[in-house]
Structure 1
């Protein structure tokens, strides 16, 4: 995991404090944000604004959650190139996957842009979501993981502007954490690390420092993660997608409380208190 020094820049700021509002000039750590291009077999596919750490994990996680790759072994190599305007990730992938990516790109050519790039109809806006098998972390397990998340976020501690995504075992211990200025990127990085290690998806759950949107649920389900816990709220579409996938979705995870938005059929609910 990248440390805070690699993903932060120290810059001078003016700090104003009341009641006199005297200005104090001091140095402050800011999260780095840079364009990162994903280039597949020599063809540029996407540019994301991201933190410049754990980029090999990001390359693999993004490729899996976006459906470009089906398995980690279809990624043969990643070369990180630092260029004048940002960073280019050059991925060498299996020829069959590249052929499918080329076909996807041809099907998108000539379409006008909108909020979902290359999408021309409502039917295409929401991708089919695979079914997953959800583990059943108990309330105490969720709270234990939540209580440890902050200590696993050095970039957030230094800058206050970074999201975290963690993989927790069924005891609530955090095994893998990745950070990024973007919440989707943080999750992709964590999924990339998880995939490289070949971790059993039934042996834990994902914990994210952000809200649980449709994309976060979809990314988890696309790689077989059956439980997602978010520090902030879930969206209505995230709940709908969790229901379709059979994914356990928990949100507003704060010390001493959390909300279960969807519990799969057959999963024993936590005992009510109060």
Structure 2
């Protein structure tokens, strides 16, 4: 059994509208890429928490139709790496033959975002076309303070049907320009990015905000599209913070109460150590 009880404390800055930012620490949920392999065949990669992996192996195998009975799974070997886990399972010969016949690219779901990826290297590949060498300047802290109200005003489908994620783009002047909704958080972000690109808005300025938690794949999507600042309404995962810092993406969490929390930006991990929001000179 893998022990995932330890949480990773990450430093962040509380961005008060007046006064200097305050350093603090927050435990973040762990996130790893989990590869499901059957008799050496790479089948799928899921972004997940690294606990109860034996249960995950059996449950995923059952619910995805790879096995129909527990005794068809003969053995399980777990290999741990820094940002990934390989679940190498051995099926009996009849079940393996059925898998080979029926195996196809798995359809994406609204929950994991990486279903059907055939290798860990693909899931954790470097972000292409990322030549950024420093963090962009942050928008003013006041632009984040009414973020939940912005979503409530912009989300039309949520008010009528519920069960919808959303992503919004707020420009450098603090104006909400676009809102896109979808049952899938990744889809909502894709739609928002598409709207901004089609209308010629540069995503390096202002900020993109999402209603969901922030995990690795949303960092990857943001970097591929040139987003300078990403804000989420739920805490980011530990891997999301590491990758945001690696690729110089400003990453913030706006809690229900209190100021925004800066997890990746100037003064946190990479780049110059001075914090400088828009409109504040050093």
Output the TM-score relative to the length of structure 2.
0.52
Quote how far apart the aligned CAs of 1:238 are: 0.7
CA distance in 2, matches of 1:153, 1:194: 17
Contact 2:117 2:123 in 1 (8 A): no
Task: Indicate yes or no: 2:270 matched with 1:268.
Answer: no
Cα distance change on mapping 1:220 and 1:128 into 2, 3 Å: same
Number of the residue aligned with 2:175: 173
Contact 2:208 2:227 in 1 (8 A): yes
Contact 1:170 1:205 in 2 (8 A): yes
CA distance in 2, matches of 1:134, 1:253: 22
Number of the residue aligned with 1:10: none
1:125 to 123, 126, 132: 123
Cα distance change on mapping 1:137 and 1:254 into 2, 3 Å: farther
Bigger fraction of residues in strand:
1
CA distance in 2, matches of 1:249, 1:217: 9
Q: Aligned ranges for residues 91-110 of structure 1 at < 5 Å?
A: none
CA distance in 2, matches of 1:147, 1:131: 34
1:236 to 217, 235, 238: 238
Number of the residue aligned with 2:258: 256
Output the TM-score relative to the length of structure 1.
0.53
Task: Indicate yes or no: 2:209 matched with 1:211.
Answer: no
CA distance in 1, matches of 2:276, 2:256: 19
Structure 2 gaps, min length 5: 1-101, 107-113, 278-282
Q: What CA RMSD, in Å, does the superposition of the two structures yield over aligned residues?
A: 2.4
Cα distance change on mapping 1:221 and 1:111 into 2, 3 Å: farther
Determine helix, strand or coil for the equivalent of 2:207. Answer: strand
Number of the residue aligned with 2:141: 139
1:190 to 189, 192, 195: 192
Could you report, residue by residue, the CA deviation over 1:94-135 in whole angstroms, capped at 9, with x for unpaired residues? Answer: xxxxxxxxxxxxxxxx98878642423x33321212244523
Bigger fraction of residues in helix:
1
Determine helix, strand or coil for the equivalent of 1:178. Answer: strand
CA distance in 2, matches of 1:176, 1:145: 14
Number of the residue aligned with 1:49: none
Cα distance change on mapping 1:155 and 1:127 into 2, 3 Å: same
Could you report, residue by residue, the CA deviation over 1:51-87 in whole angstroms, capped at 9, with x for unpaired residues? Answer: xxxxxxxxxxxxxxxxxxxxxxxxxxxxxxxxxxxxx
Determine helix, strand or coil for the equivalent of 1:259. Answer: strand
CA distance in 1, matches of 2:250, 2:239: 14
Quote how far apart the aligned CAs of 1:194 are: 0.5
CA distance in 2, matches of 1:263, 1:252: 15
Cα distance change on mapping 1:131 and 1:238 into 2, 3 Å: farther
Determine helix, strand or coil for the equivalent of 2:151. Answer: helix
CA distance in 2, matches of 1:233, 1:113: 31
Structure 1 gaps, min length 5: 1-109
**Runs of 4+ residues over 4 Å off in structure 1:** 110-116
